[in-house]
Amino acid sequence: MGASKKDLRRREQKKAEEAGTRVATTKGGVAVKAPKEQVQCNVCKAMLVKEQKVQLKDHATNKHPKSEFSSCFPGVTV
């Protein structure tokens, strides 16, 4: 009988692990993504994803209307 998919995947993972190139996977065999970079609001300390510029802008205008965007998220440009 031939090898099953599980056996083939285990062999590939074992070879990759020995070579030092194995990618972290979930139980289903899907590669795990790296966490997205987050930035913290200096006014309320809320954590938001840095790449979502619209969400950052909306947060600053709706939650802190009296303060400017640069005071909420210094160093982030929209």
Q: DSSP letters of 9-64? A: HHHHHHHHHHHT-PPPB-TTSPBPPPPPPEEE-TTT--EEETT-HHHHHHHHHHH-
| Residues 26 and 40 both lie in one domain | no
Name 41's Cβ contacts closer than 8 Å, sequence gap at least 6: 47, 48, 59, 60, 63, 64, 72, 73
Per-residue model confidence (pLDDT) at position 1: 65
| Residues 21 and 54 both lie in one domain | no
Looking at residue 23, its amino acid is V
| Residues 45 and 59 both lie in one domain | yes
Per-residue model confidence (pLDDT) at position 6: 87
pLDDT tens per residue across span 12-68: 888 888 888 777 788 887 888 888 999 999 999 999 999 999 999 998 999 989 988
Range of the domain at 21: 1-32
Q: Model pTM?
A: 0.61
pLDDT exceeds cutoff 80 at 75: yes
- Give how many domains the chain has, as a whole number: 2
| Residues 59 and 70 both lie in one domain | yes
Q: From CA 78, how far away is CA 17, in angstroms rounded?
A: 41
| Residues 41 and 60 both lie in one domain | yes
